[in-house]
Structure 1
Amino acid sequence: MSADLPKAGQAVAERLGAWIAGVAVRTLPDEAVYTARMLLLDVAGLCVAGRREDYIAATLAAADGTGLCTALGHGRPLTAYDSALVNGTAAHGEDYDDTFEGGPVHSGAVIVPAVLAACEREHLGGEALLKGIAVGAELMCRLALVAPKAIHTAGFHPTAVLGALAAAGAVSASLGLTADQATAALGIAGSTASGIIEYLAEGTSTKRMHAGWAAQSGLRAALMARGGFAGPRTVLEGVHGFYKAFAPSRTPDFTPLLDGLGQDWVMPSIAFKPYACGTMTQPFIDCAIGLAKRGVQAGEIVSITCNVGEGTVHRLWEDLAVKHRPPTPYAAKFSTPFCMAVGFFDGRAGFGQFTEARIHDPDVLALAAKIAYRIDPADEYPKNFTGHLAATLADGRVIEIRQPHMRGGAREPLSPAELEAKALDNFRYGGWDDALAEAAGRWCRDAFSAPDLAALTALRR
């Protein structure tokens, strides 16, 4: 062993592998179990909501044959890898899935599809499902804290690249892999991680597939590790390791990844989105809705200036001319000016606000064109997602509105009833009737106590 390598058992992935192998369902805190259940429910609703979209049809067209596993909302059983890809792509496709404010990363759309596929493939039950989701979400959130903002700065999508490792850990936990096997799975996943953010240029669909690709990559890594394939134990901190490759601008700090691991769970702070668009735009939508509720008319507005975190600018504000007139409905989800404008007029930002008709609506575009930004050095991003606007009106008044945090996050979580209503709405949006939607909701609530996942076949519609 080289002198500059960590001693046996001391590499970061080895320490993670030992934790993954040692997690017991009975020791999971209640809040972690609750969050895992809500992740399952949220993802299931999103998979069904997106099942008829053209990008899902294209993904299904790339699937080979049939298998043992379920793509939620589709009749054709798929292989584990294909089901993970389809479910992950559908769950993340409309950007309505959960987020971790310290990252940001989207855990549910990666972890739930990977673990569902693994458990169906291996005929495992609810405890394995719960353990995998909890472990994977915890790992993904903690991985996101190692080098905040640096992965985006390098041009990569954190959900895509971190998701492959987290999915490998999740599936390792579900399958009951040994510490050495889990370590190898993480090492293998480091070479399967990928996902650039060039989709921002023209609003194309590659971001949509990132969660599904990470899910199937992590699943494959865990199964290869179980079969004896070796991966580098220094995958995370090595000279040619993960963070060196994907976050070169920042020295990784593994303290928030490792400290309190297994005792202090961070995944219960995962935020569930109230709006179907980019995470950091959500507080700004609340500000715009608040402006409309004050009785302000769009024609009265001369200009709106927003204080923003520097780290959000290159994805959500620039090129500002493009953000004022997003070229596709998907691009509109990552335009803060458009999201604010449509929220101002509609009082919401759901599936119906991101359509061809809305991105060409002259009133929406006229208001979006009045919205600009300035960087606030004191902004807390990425630790906290805040919103702000200062609207100058034709009569000279300036109305300022602030949203101090993301609604749906740890500081103002959505209630269980709100999350269940969101999922039911998404099941219905995907074309399911009330009876099937409610049955799917019950399955999600009861899944962790089921002896197997055979009931999932009823969701192949």
Structure 2
Amino acid sequence: MANDATLPEISVSQRFARWARGLEAAAIPDAVRAAAASSVLDVAGLCASARGLDYVAAVRDSWDAEGPCTAIGHGRALDAAGAAFVNGTAAHGEDYDDTFEGTPVHTGAVMVPAVFAVCERFGLSGADALRGLAAGTELMCRMALVAPTAVHRAGFHPTAVIGAMGAAAGCGVALRLDERQLTDALGIAGSMASGIIEYLAEGSWTKRIHAGWAAQGGLRAALLARQGFLGPRTVMEGQHGFFFAFADHGVAPDYARLTDGLGETWHAATVAFKPYACGTMTQPFIDCAVRLAREGLDIARIASISCDVGEGTVHRLWEPLSEKRAPSTAYSAKFSVPFCVAVGLLDRAAGLGQFTDARIADPAVLDLAAKVSYVIDPADEYPRNYSGHVRATLTDGQTVEARQPHMRGGAREPLGLDELEAKFRANCAFGGWDAARAGALRDFCAGLFDAPELTGLGAFRG
């Protein structure tokens, strides 16, 4: 980390800003554009799915500023920050949103709401939205790689704190801030960032607002910088900078990951889309459980289940084991491998319908979850790769097992467009929209990057 006596001539954020401010839509690779389009569709469907849920209503009704911007599925128009907050909360609230495999961080639930809001508010084009999404998503992915696992270890949620920086970059690029303004926006966003992971203790709701709060915080940072407000240019590597504040000091940060190969190596093209409505690292274990069930495993004969896991996942998905085996809330169940394995075996699914108050009280689910334990595997590749290994021991001593070598939906086994569209349609239906309205939103998303402005988003209020 740089100390105050040896400040760099050109800081990390200045180097990123110099690249990002010159980014044009025509220079964005097809793979990055496709990933951004998938993220837009995924987030839009998630916003529609959550439009009637209690925590989204609480967030919407807490915001007292109205304006010209759209919270998808809600009749009341809000100011830009409010729309970003509500849409970000809705997109992330069920933990069904996209993720990054290098270190888990949810990019779409931050970037799409932030960029939608700034573009709708200031009459920016779809090409501007694409530029903002590409730049902000790339920054979030790169920041996740600087000190893998260190942000979680320090007690912070990477999506929350890194998201504020990504939203500032994305909104600033969409607004065409100059290099100095964009550098200031990142510096300001460092003081907007927040979000601790104590929600894990009892499954309370605070994680649900993290993406939305980051989206509105980054948007505000960009607008402050646009008006000449100054931020520290050494926000990343400084003696009191982002990684000093938000990352465990036992993991040495590699700041070169933020700028090496900008414009040549695109991490934004590798964002993963979830097949299940729960925590990222639970997904491969659910695949294992579903596979065992489809292969005819007799649930009644299971004596115990053991899962091989990466050490870095234990404090979020396995401990305290009593809470993970009997989650106190439906939300807590999303971050419990024992619960997720149990519903995977029983239901062969882990969608929105599996994480309900009824399911966390179901004796069959609880009895099976109580049989699930873990063993730390020193060879597990987390956080570079998310894999699963489930081994069931039967009452006669026989063992059966399944392995998932990577996250389905990620770079090694991406979901097809038909699967993403099916997920989108199911989410819209869950939110109470008919096929015609879902189709209209899908068409809007498909044409977004070629649109002269985003005023069409207003058709999806209410």
TM-score computed with the length of structure 1 as normaliser: 0.99
Maintained 8 Å contact 1:154/1:249: no
1:404 corresponds to: 405
Question: What do the CA deviations read for 1:138-170 (whole angstroms, capped 9, x no partner)?
Answer: 110111000000000000000000000010000
Q: Post-superposition shift, 1:255?
A: 2.0
User: Bigger shift: 58-67 or 314-323?
Assistant: 58-67
Question: What do the CA deviations read for 1:45-103 (whole angstroms, capped 9, x no partner)?
Answer: 00010111110111011111320100001111100000000000000000000000111
2:432 corresponds to: 431
Partners of 1:414 and 1:2 in 2: CA distance: 47
TM-score computed with the length of structure 2 as normaliser: 0.98
Partners of 1:100 and 1:453 in 2: CA distance: 27
Partners of 2:194 and 2:5 in 1: CA distance: 31
Where structure 1 has 5 or more consecutive residues not aligned to the other structure, the ranges are: none
1:226 corresponds to: 226
User: Bigger shift: 203-212 or 394-403?
Assistant: 394-403
Partners of 2:399 and 2:65 in 1: CA distance: 61
Asked if 1:142 corresponds to 2:117, the answer is no
Question: What do the CA deviations read for 1:398-448 (whole angstroms, capped 9, x no partner)?
Answer: 112110000000000000111111111111111111100001001001111
Alignment of 1:39-188 (within 5 A): 39-188=39-188
Alignment of 1:376-415 (within 5 A): 376-415=377-416
Q: Post-superposition shift, 1:3?
A: 4.3
Aligned residues: 459
Partners of 2:250 and 2:193 in 1: CA distance: 18
Maintained 8 Å contact 1:104/1:144: yes
Maintained 8 Å contact 1:20/1:172: no
Where structure 2 has 5 or more consecutive residues not aligned to the other structure, the ranges are: none
2:447 corresponds to: 446
Partners of 1:450 and 1:169 in 2: CA distance: 22
Partners of 2:65 and 2:98 in 1: CA distance: 31
1:4 corresponds to: 6
RMSD, aligned CA = 0.9
Maintained 8 Å contact 2:110/2:212: yes
Aligned partner of residue 18 in structure 1, secondary structure: helix
Maintained 8 Å contact 2:4/2:239: no
Alignment of 1:254-273 (within 5 A): 254-273=255-274
Identity %: 61
1:16 corresponds to: 16
Aligned partner of residue 145 in structure 1, secondary structure: helix
Partners of 1:386 and 1:171 in 2: CA distance: 34
Partners of 2:130 and 2:112 in 1: CA distance: 10
Maintained 8 Å contact 1:70/1:77: yes
Maintained 8 Å contact 2:12/2:258: no
Aligned partner of residue 304 in structure 2, secondary structure: strand
1:357 corresponds to: 358
Maintained 8 Å contact 2:202/2:323: no
Partners of 1:428 and 1:131 in 2: CA distance: 31
Q: Which amino acid aligns with 1:410?
A: A
Partners of 1:352 and 1:394 in 2: CA distance: 30
Partners of 1:125 and 1:238 in 2: CA distance: 35
Q: Which amino acid aligns with 1:101?
A: E
Aligned partner of residue 67 in structure 1, secondary structure: strand
Aligned partner of residue 148 in structure 1, secondary structure: coil
1:284 corresponds to: 285
Q: Which amino acid aligns with 1:332?
A: A
Partners of 1:330 and 1:250 in 2: CA distance: 30
Q: Post-superposition shift, 1:259?
A: 1.0
Partners of 1:256 and 1:287 in 2: CA distance: 33
Q: Which amino acid aligns with 1:169?
A: A
Q: Post-superposition shift, 1:274?
A: 0.2
Maintained 8 Å contact 1:301/1:392: yes
Q: Post-superposition shift, 1:263?
A: 1.3
Partners of 1:166 and 1:357 in 2: CA distance: 37
Aligned partner of residue 68 in structure 1, secondary structure: strand
1:459 corresponds to: 460
Question: What do the CA deviations read for 1:15-48 (whole angstroms, capped 9, x no partner)?
Answer: 0111111111110000000000000000000001
Q: Post-superposition shift, 1:302?
A: 0.5
Q: Post-superposition shift, 1:2?
A: 5.8
Q: Which amino acid aligns with 1:425?
A: A
Partners of 1:222 and 1:20 in 2: CA distance: 14
Q: Which amino acid aligns with 2:407?
A: M
User: Bigger shift: 274-283 or 14-23?
Assistant: 14-23
Aligned partner of residue 285 in structure 2, secondary structure: helix
Asked if 1:297 corresponds to 2:294, the answer is no
Question: What do the CA deviations read for 1:318-359 (whole angstroms, capped 9, x no partner)?
Answer: 001110000000000000000110111111101100011100
